[in-house]
């Protein structure tokens, strides 16, 4: 296998990207449908949490952007670190793919919950609150997962079956991809901490009012 460069282009890995994309999409659909399985008590509890969440965005100046940034960035760092670790472990490949499915579930559930509780307002909120950062997060996680899958495949084919091939170059390449994706996710964390609150400020009062009207 030619390790220079660590080829992660769509053309060379189309089937892999399609597989990961199907996992994410399947998870999103499952998460969206999961909202309909909630009981009335669960809906009430989540609606109360949503109301409190949107209320905090009514005054973005009161939010601690620095703390929000580190909270999101550390979450992304843990996610990327886990993908990196599962990739180099080889046997953790199924768990790595399960993480992609889980990401889809979380995304689908969040969108489904917002739309269910806020109807047409939820579409605007989903676009403002979820779409921008996930336009960065989803591709970054997909590329990191593809790198992990390629590393695991290389180890199985070259090291276990053919008993040849060097381990260090693909290991360094996979690690470099993980670090590059982490740097990209830093941009997503910056957006969520510093830009998103001011964008959501326009939607927050209406969202909190709509939730209050639904459950009063």
Q: Where are the domains of the chain?
A: 14-214
What is the residue-averaged pLDDT of the chain? 82
For the chain, give the number of residues. 216
What token pair was written down for 16? 């892999």
Burial class (CB within 10 angstroms; exposed 0-12, middle 13-18, buried 19+) of 62: exposed
- The reported pTM is 0.84
- 3-class secondary-structure state, position 90: coil
- pLDDT over 70 for what percent of the chain? 78
Residue 96: how many CA atoms within 13 Å on its side-chain side?
A: 28
Q: What is the pLDDT of residue 111?
A: 85
CB atoms within 10 A of CB 213: 8
* Better-predicted residue by pLDDT, 71 or 121: 71
Q: What is the pLDDT of residue 207?
A: 54
Q: What is the pLDDT of residue 125?
A: 67
How would residue 175 be classed by pLDDT, with cut points 50, 70 and 90? Answer: very high
| C-alpha to C-alpha distances, 129 to 61, 165, 187, 199, 213, nearest whole angstrom | 17, 46, 15, 8, 21
The rounded distance, in Å, linking the Cα atoms of 33 and 40 is: 15
Q: Is the pLDDT of residue 180 over 90?
A: yes
Residue 167 DSSP code: S
How would residue 113 be classed by pLDDT, with cut points 50, 70 and 90? Answer: confident
Least Cα distance to 13 among 100, 86, 5, 90 occurs for 5
The rounded distance, in Å, linking the Cα atoms of 69 and 154 is: 36
Q: Are 96 and 123 in contact (CB under 8 A)?
A: no
How would residue 40 be classed by pLDDT, with cut points 50, 70 and 90? Answer: confident
pLDDT one-digit tens code per residue, 199-208? 776 665 555 5
Q: What is the pLDDT of residue 14?
A: 87
Residue 56: how many CA atoms within 13 Å on its side-chain side?
A: 11
């Amino acid at each position: 296998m030619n390790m220079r460069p660590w080829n992660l282009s769509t053309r060379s890995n189309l089937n892999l990207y399609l597989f990961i994309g199907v996992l994410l999409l399947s998870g999103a659909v499952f998460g969206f449908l999961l909202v309909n399985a909630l009981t009335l008590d669960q809906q009430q509890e989540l609606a109360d949490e949503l109301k409190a969440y949107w209320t905090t965005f009514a005054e973005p100046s009161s939010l601690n952007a620095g703390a929000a940034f580190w909270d999101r960035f550390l979450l992304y760092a843990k996610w990327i670190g886990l993908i990196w670790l599962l990739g180099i472990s080889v046997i953790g490949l199924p768990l790595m793919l399960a993480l992609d499915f889980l990401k889809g579930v979380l995304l689908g559930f969040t969108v489904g919950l917002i739309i269910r509780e806020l109807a047409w307002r939820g579409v605007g909120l989903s676009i403002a609150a979820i779409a921008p950062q996930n336009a960065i997060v989803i591709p970054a996680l997909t590329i990191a997962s593809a790198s992990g899958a390629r590393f695991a495949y290389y180890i199985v084919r070259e090291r276990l079956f053919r008993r040849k091939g060097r381990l260090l170059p693909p290991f360094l390449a996979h690690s470099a991809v993980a670090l590059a994706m982490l740097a990209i996710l830093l941009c997503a964390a910056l957006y969520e901490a510093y830009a998103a609150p001011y964008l959501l400020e326009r939607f927050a009062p209406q969202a909190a009012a709509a939730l209050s009207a639904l459950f009063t």
